[in-house]
Structure 1
Amino acid sequence: MSGRRTETLPERYFSEIYASDPDPWGFTSSAYEAEKYAATLEALPRARYDRALEVGCSIGVFTRALAPRCGGLTGLDVAQAALDAAQARCAEYPQVGFVRGAVPEVWPEGRFDLIVFGEMLYFLSMEDLARLVAQVEASLAPGGDCVLVHWLGETDYPLSGDAAAEGFIAGAAPFCRVLSGMRTEAYRLDVLRRSDGP
C-alpha cells in the first residue's frame, strides 16, 4: 500500500486517538471484535494459564474475557487513557494488573505461559518486531503459548497483518512452532508454542 509508515508508531499517535474517542476501534460495540474475541478464546490450547501477558490490551475488553482463565494476567498498553478504562473494566478480577509502556522498550519482568498480541504487531517496524521476538524468547515459559491476531485490511501501519504475523513466526521459529492457524476474510489468528528447552 502506498503511504505506509516506516517507523514504529509513536506513543503520541495512540494518545491522540484515545483523546478523540475513548473506544476508537469499537471494541465494546463491534460485531467483528466480539466474534474475533470469541474465536481467540476458543483457539487457546489450554483451559487455564498460570501467568499471562496481553500486549496492546487497550481498554481491556478482551482482558476481561481472558481473566477468568488466568491465575495472573498483565495487560500492557502505551496509552494511559486506555489503561484507566481497562483497570475499571477489570476491577472485579484481583489477579489482573496493568503496565504502561511501548514495546519492545517496555516489557514486564518474569515468565509467562501465555502471551497474546491482539492487533498490535503491525504498529512496529521490522527492526522493532525483531527486538520484540527477542523479548518473547526471554520470557515465554517452556511449553508456553503465544497468540497473534491481526486484521487483514488496508492500513498505513508499518506492516500489514500478514507481514507482521509472518515476520513474528519466522523470527520465533528457533524456539516456537506453529500449533494452529485460522484465517477469515477479516483477520488471521496464529497460535504458537514454545518448543525448545526442557
Structure 2
Amino acid sequence: MSPRSDPEFFDAKYRADPDPWNFDTDWYEIRKRKLLMALLPRPRYHAALEPGCANGHITLALAQRCDRVVATDIAPRALELARARCRDHANIVMQRWALGEAWCWADTFDLVVVSEVAYYLPALALRSAIEDMAAHLSIGTIVVLSHWRHDEKDHHLNGDRANQITLSALPHQPVAGYLDDDVRIDVVTVRP
C-alpha cells in the first residue's frame, strides 16, 4: 500500500476498529502521551489546537491543562469517537479539518500539538502546511511535535523527517525534547 492522507482511509480504519492504533492499550501510546504532557513547559494554556486528534486520548489530557482545546481530524468516525470520549468536557471543540488544509482559525492558540500526523503529508505539502500555520501563530506559542520514528507503509515520511521538515519551516527556539528508538518529541516556542 502506498502512503495515505485521504479521509476515506482513516474513516474506514475507525469504522473497522474504534482503536485501530491501540491508543487504549499500547505501551508506546500510553508512554508517549505521558511524556508529551510532561514536556509542556507551562502548567496551563489558554487555547490549544490539536490537528489529527484521532479518538481523543491526547485531547482529553490537554483538556485538563487548557481553557479551550480545538481538536480536529479528517475522519468523521474518529471525530465521533473523540466526541464520545470527551463528552464531559465543555472546553473541547471538535471540528473536521486536516493539517495541510487552509488555516481557518480566528482563534489565537498558545499551544499547538502535532502528534502522529505530520508524516501523513508528503514533504512539500508538510512544509507548505507548516509555513501557513507559522504565519498565523503568535510569538511565544508552544508547538509540540511527537512522532513514531520508524518507516511505515502508510506514511510519506518517518517521524524524524517529519519533525525536521516542520522545524525547518517554523521559526522557533527549542524548549525541550525527548528521543528514544521509537519516539521523537520536540517542544519549541515560535519566534519572529
TM bucket normalised to smaller: over 0.9
| Distance apart, 1:141 and its partner CA | 2.2
Distance 2:117 2:94 in 1: 17
Matches within 5 A, 1:14-93: 14-93=10-89
Match of 2:160 among 139, 142, 162: 162
Distance 2:77 2:103 in 1: 19
- Structure 2 gap segments, 5+ residues each: none
Match of 1:190 among 179, 186, 189: 186
Distance 1:71 1:180 in 2: 23
Computed over aligned residues only, the root mean square deviation of the Cα atoms, in angstroms, reads: 1.5
Aligned partner letter, 1:153: H
| Distance apart, 1:35 and its partner CA | 0.7
Secondary structure of the structure 1 residue equivalent to 2:138: strand
Does the Cα contact within 8 Å between 1:4 and 1:155 map onto a contact in 2? no
Match of 1:149 among 146, 153, 174: 146
Does the Cα contact within 8 Å between 1:115 and 1:140 map onto a contact in 2? no
- Structure 1 gap segments, 5+ residues each: none
Match of 2:169 among 163, 168, 171: 171
Corresponding residue for residue 11 of structure 1: 7
Corresponding residue for residue 118 of structure 2: 121
Secondary structure of the structure 2 residue equivalent to 1:56: coil
Aligned partner letter, 1:14: F
Offset from partner CA, 1:165-191 (integer Å, 9 cap, x none) = 00111111xx21222221011110000
Does the Cα contact within 8 Å between 1:57 and 1:63 map onto a contact in 2? yes
| Distance apart, 1:28 and its partner CA | 1.1
| Distance apart, 1:57 and its partner CA | 0.5
Offset from partner CA, 1:109-138 (integer Å, 9 cap, x none) = 122100001111000011211121123212
Does the Cα contact within 8 Å between 2:149 and 2:181 map onto a contact in 1? yes
| Distance apart, 1:18 and its partner CA | 1.2
Distance 1:84 1:58 in 2: 10
Secondary structure of the structure 1 residue equivalent to 2:37: helix
Aligned partner letter, 2:64: P
- The percentage of aligned residue pairs carrying the same residue is 33
Distance 1:170 1:106 in 2: 20
Aligned partner letter, 1:124: L
Corresponding residue for residue 93 of structure 2: 97
